[in-house]
Amino acid sequence: MIILTPAVFVADQLSKLAVERWMPLGQRIPIIPGLFDLVHYRNTGAAFGIFSGMADSIRVPFFYIVAIVALVLLALFYRSLRDRDVLLSVALSLIFGGIAGNIADRIRLGSVIDFLSFHIGDSVVNTNILGKHIYFPLEWPAFNIADSAITIAMALLFYSVLLGRKGVNE
């Protein structure tokens, strides 16, 4: 699995550099009209933009500390795996590459480049529920390759736990 972490990191960084170079911030290019667009967004927060409203003086150190602690813990856990713990090795390698990709953006730009956007046409939910007006587009928050790697890793870990397995060969 030694090649998976750098492969995720390189694919993530190259894709973000391409978006940064060839797409102005805020641009949207339909790839599959009504379903999938390439976009150029910057996310100062975490997943789904959480913590983006937090003061920079708290948010920035928080993300660096969380990333460093996560990388150290992942490295220690990875070292404890047996050779046959293939599923866990793959999952940890994906997480490590994803974290490294997003933290590289934070170091370089102060935010993370997101560029993959899935949506259902231009549909929105626009309704009143219990006297509260609710309005939001039916669009998944934009994400990137690092986010995808982490999500796939989490699905692999869930699969492993669900089946009570530590590795493919057990």
Give catalytic residue positions.
114, 147
From 87, 110, 99, 93, select the one nearest 144 (Cα to Cα): 99
Strand 132-139 to 112-129 pairing: antiparallel
Neighbours of 43 (CB within 10 A): 23
Phi and psi angles of residue 34, each rounded to the nearest 5 degrees, phi first = 80, 0
Which of these, 16, 4, 3, 2, lies nearest to 152 by C-alpha position?
Answer: 4
- Indicate the helix (H) or strand (E) that contains 96: helix 86-109
